[in-house]
Structure 1
C-alpha cells in the first residue's frame, strides 16, 4: 500500500504544472503573426508543443477556471491554425495565378506557344506544396481535429486547392474553347488545340490528380470523419472540362486532315482511361467515367468514318487538268503520305479497324490480292487504298492526248508508290511482297509502252525506199538524203516534245536513259556504218552516236 502524499508535495506538483501551463500560454501569445506560415521549424514545433500542453491540461485538470481558460486558449490557437492553414494554401494559388496572367497576355481565344510551354521546367511544380508545408498542414490538422474543428479545415482545404487546380486549368485556355465552335476551326488551329489538350490532360492525369491525392492523404489520412475520396472535389471540374472538350472533338466533321490529331486524342484517352476509372470510381463521379468511355467510342467511330471517306475519295478523285510534265500527281503524294501516317498508328488502328473494306469491283487481277489470307483488316484497308489510287491514276491516263506521256505519268506515279511502300518495313509487310512485285511489273510495262515513242526513229533505219530499184545494191542519194532529213526531224521532234517531261526519281531516270540508249543507239550505229562509204554522208548526219547519247541523257531532268 502506497503512503499518502503530503499536502505540501501535492501543492508543489500543482504549482509545477501551473508553471508549465503558464509557459505554454506565454508561447501562444508571444508567437508573432506569420511565424507558423514561414517561420523556423523550431518555433513552429514549440507552438505545437504549447498547444498540446494546454489540451493535455484540459483533459487532466479538474479545476474549472483552468479548464475555461484552456478551452479559450485552444479556440484562439484553432483560429490561428485556420488562418495559417489558409495562408499556406493561398500561397499555392498565387504561384499559379501569376502564370495565368502571363499567358493571358500572350493568347486570347486561340492558344499560342505560351500554352504549349506551360509544362516545361518550373511550371510543372507550380501549385505544389513543399514537404515542409505539408508537414505543417498535417500538424495543424491534428490539433484542429482534437479541438473538434477538423471539418472547417477540410472544407477550407478542398475549396482553396480546387481554386489552385482551376487556375492551372485556366492557363491552357481550354475553358474558353468550349464557348466557340472548335469543330469549324481551320486544320492547323484544330491540331494546335488537340496538342494543347493532350498536354493539359497529361498535367491532369500524370501530375495534378496523383499529386492532389497523395497530398490530401498526407494531411488528412487516419481521421475517422474524412473520406479518402473527398479530394475528388478538388479535381473533378478539371476532369469534366477535359472530357467535355474531347466529346466535342468526337462530333467533328469527317475530314481526313484531322485523322492523326483525332488518333492522338484517342490514344491518350485509351492509355489513361483505366487510371481515370480507378480515380473516379465513386457513385457521385461515375458520370465522368461514363462520359470518357462514350467519347472514346465516338472517337473510334469518327476514325472509321474518316478512313472510309478517304477510301472513297481516293477511288473517285477527279482533277480538271493533266500533269503536263508527266510527273507525280498531287493525289499520289497526298494519298501515300496519309497511308504512311496510318502505318505509324498501326497498333492503334489495328484495334479500331476490325471490319473489311467496302470494295468496288475493279477486276479480278487486282481484287485477288485483297483475298490473300493472313492479312488483318487494317492491312486490307491500306491495300485497298493503294489499289484505288492506281485505278484512279489509270483513269487520268485517258486524259492525255500524247499516250506516251501518259505512260510516263503512270510509270512515275506507280514507281513512287513502290518506293513509299518499300521505305517502311511495316508497310511492306502489310501490303505484301506479292503486290509490290505486281506494281514493279506495272512500272516495267509502262516504261516499255513509253519506249514506243522511239519506234518511229527505228522505222527510219529500214532499208526499204533507199535503193535505186529492186535487186540493185546501190542507194539513191536523194532517197538517202531524204531519209536522214526525216530521221533528224524525228529526233528533233522527240527531243523538243520530251524535253519538258520529267522523271523525279534519279534511279528510275537512269534506268529509262539506259533503256532508250539500248533500244536506239545500236540500231543508229549500224545505220551509220551502212552508209559510211557514201559520198557527202557527213553532211546528212546531224547527231553522232555520242551526241545522241548525250542528248538522251539530258531528257527528263
Structure 2
C-alpha cells in the first residue's frame, strides 16, 4: 500500500527541480519556469493577489514549525498525516512572496533585511515539510500537499539561485576601477546596491589605502551570500550553488588580473617579441604572482570561508579549485618562455627572478592548499626554469671561449671581457643561494659533474688546509669561469709587443678581478683565501717584471762603474751616460703617460716604486758627477733634469692622457 501511494507523488521534485546545464548556471540566462505572476493593480499589495489569512506571517510560520516538529517527533508514521489548513496558507504566503520578488529589479529581488531572513526561514520550513511528509504513506491530501510544497520550494530555489548569481556577479555591480599596467593597482571606488541603498565596504586587513579593494564585497553582501548558500545546500541544491559560485568567482578573478595589468600572452606573441617587451611581460607576471601569493589567495580563501562557514570542507574544495585554475594559468607563462628562444647570458637574472617567484608560489600553495598534484606541477615548472637558467649561465663560458679578438686593448687598460665577466659574476652572486639550488637540482644526477666537484674539493683541500673541502655545483662552475677568464687574459696579454705594457695590462686586469672578488663576500667565500693569495702574489710578480723591463736600462745609465779611463772619469763616457738617460726617460715618459692604470691604489704603488729606485740613483749620480761639467750652458745640455723634475714627471705616468702623444706611433 505504501509503495502504491508513494508512486502517486508527482516525481518532479527528487531534489525539488531539474538540474540546469553549467552554461545556464554560469550565465544566469534562465527563466523561472512556470512563474507567471499576476500583475498588481494600482496601490495594491502583491501579496493580496494570492492569499488572505486571519493569521499574520509570524503566527503562520510558528504553527508550521509546530506541525513539522509534531510530525518528526511522535506521530504514527504508518498512516498518512492530517494536513492542517494553515499549511496551505503558509504555501500561499511563500508563493506570494516569490511573486513579489519576481516583480522587483534584479538588484533588489530580496531585501537583505529582516524580511529577507524570514523568507529563508520560510524556505527552510518548506524543505522540512517535503522531507518530513516523504516519511509517511500518502493519501490524496498528503500527495497534493507534498507536490505543492515541492513546487513552491523549487521556485524558491530558482529565485535563490538567481539572487546568488546576482550577488556574486561583480560585472553587474557599479565598480569604478582604475587600471594602471605599470604599477600595483588599487580600485578607486566600488559599491554594491543590493536594496537601493549604498552599502559601504570594509577594507581588508592588507589594504593600506582608502579605496575599496578586491574582492569588492561589503560585509552585508557576504552575509547575504551565506544565507542564500546555506539555504541552497540545505535544500539539496549544493551542485547548483557550487557551479554558480565557481563560475562567477573565476570571472571576478579574471577581471582582477586585468585590473592588475596582466593579460594572457600567447606563443605567437612570445616568438615575435623583442627582449625589452618581454622583460615588461616578465615584470607583469612576477607582479601578479606576488599579488596572488601575498593578497589574492588569502582574500579568496577568506571569502570562501565567509560564504560557507558552516561547510568548511566545501569552502576548502571551492578555494582549491579556484586557486588551481589561477595557478595553471600563471604557469602557462614560464612554461612558454623557456621553450621559445635561446637566451644570451645577460638574460639570466630575469629567469632567476621567475625561478624565485615560482619558489614563493610553491610555498604559498603548500600552505594554502592540499593539492599535491598542483604543487608538483608548479615545482616541475620551477625545475624547467632552473634548467634554462643553468643553460643561460653556461653561455658565459661560451662567450669567454669565443672571444678570440687579437687587437690589444689600448693603453693596457682593463679588457671589456674582464669587466663584463666580473660584473656578471658579482651580480649573479646576489642570487647565490638560488643559483646553488638551481645547479644542485640540475646536476644531482650527473655523475661527470659530481666527479668534477669531488676533484675540486680535493684540490681545495690541498691548496688551503684551513678551508673545509665542501664545494657546490655552482661553486665549481664559477671556478671554471674564473680559470677560463685567467687563461683568456693571459693569452690576450701576448698580443702586446712591448713587454712592459703587457705587464701593465696583466696588472690592470688582475687588480680589477681581485678588487671585484674582495668586494663580493659571496665570490670571495667561494674562491677562498688561497686563490686570492695566489692572485696577489701574481700581481707582485707582474710589478717586478714591469720594473725590470722598463727601468733596467735607465738604471744602467746611472751606474757609477765603467766611467773611468786610466783612473780618471771620462767626460765623453759621462756625457753619453747623461744623454742616454735623458733619451730613455723622455721616451718612457711620452709612452707611459698615455698608458692607463685605472685603479688609483695600483697607480700610486707603481709611481712610488719607480720613484724609490730611480730618484735616489739619479740624485746620487748627479751629485757625484755634476762637478765634472763646466758650469753654464754646456752643463745644461747634458744635465736636463733635476731630481725634483724626475719626481714630477713620474707622477704623470699612467694617466691615459692621449694629448701627450704628439706624433708618436702606438707602441702596441
- Name the TM-score, length of structure 1 as normaliser: 0.80
Deviation at 1:519, TM superposition (A): 1.5
Q: Distance in 2 between the 1:12 and 1:93 partners?
A: 41
Partner of 1:508: 602
Of 337, 340, 345, the residue aligned with 1:256 is 345
Q: Distance in 1 between the 2:235 and 2:269 partners?
A: 52
Matched, 1:546 2:644: yes
Partner of 1:118: 185
The 5-angstrom pairing of residues 396-411 of structure 1 reads 396-411=492-507
Encode CA deviations 1:40-62: one digit per residue, 9 max, x unaligned: xxx62332124424654785799
Matched, 1:207 2:302: no
Encode CA deviations 1:351-382: one digit per residue, 9 max, x unaligned: 333445969x9xx9999759976131333332
Unpaired runs of at least 5, structure 1: 1-10, 104-113
Of 551, 575, 582, the residue aligned with 1:488 is 582
Pair 1:37–1:424, CA change in 2 (3 A): farther
Conserved? CA contact 1:96–1:164, under 8 Å: no
SS of alignment partner, residue 532 of structure 1: helix
Encode CA deviations 1:151-200: one digit per residue, 9 max, x unaligned: 33332221111111122334566654223353675444443333322222
Pair 1:309–1:145, CA change in 2 (3 A): closer
The 5-angstrom pairing of residues 316-355 of structure 1 reads 317-354=403-440, 355=449
Matched, 1:267 2:356: yes
Encode CA deviations 1:389-408: one digit per residue, 9 max, x unaligned: 11111100111111211110
Query: Could you say which structure has the higher helix fraction?
Result: 1
Pair 1:249–1:454, CA change in 2 (3 A): same
SS of alignment partner, residue 325 of structure 1: helix
- Name the TM-score, length of structure 2 as normaliser: 0.68
Q: Distance in 2 between the 1:510 and 1:176 partners?
A: 58
Pair 1:270–1:29, CA change in 2 (3 A): same
Conserved? CA contact 1:187–1:257, under 8 Å: no
Of the structure 1 ranges 421-430 and 234-243, higher mean CA displacement relative to structure 2 is found in: 234-243
Conserved? CA contact 1:336–1:417, under 8 Å: yes
Conserved? CA contact 1:93–1:163, under 8 Å: no
Matched, 1:457 2:545: no
Deviation at 1:25, TM superposition (A): 8.4
Deviation at 1:260, TM superposition (A): 1.9
Matched, 1:394 2:490: yes
Q: CA RMSD in A?
A: 4.1
Matched, 1:474 2:474: no
Partner of 1:299: 385
Matched, 1:246 2:342: no
Q: Distance in 1 between the 2:515 and 2:409 partners?
A: 20
Conserved? CA contact 1:51–1:77, under 8 Å: no
Partner of 2:121: 52
Q: Which one has the largest radius of gyration?
A: 2
Partner of 1:526: 620
Q: Distance in 1 between the 2:418 and 2:175 partners?
A: 49
SS of alignment partner, residue 433 of structure 1: helix
Pair 1:457–1:235, CA change in 2 (3 A): same
Pair 1:545–1:220, CA change in 2 (3 A): same
Conserved? CA contact 1:498–1:556, under 8 Å: yes
SS of alignment partner, residue 230 of structure 1: helix
Q: Distance in 1 between the 2:430 and 2:224 partners?
A: 50
Partner of 1:107: none
The 5-angstrom pairing of residues 365-404 of structure 1 reads 369=463, 374-377=469-472, 378-404=474-500
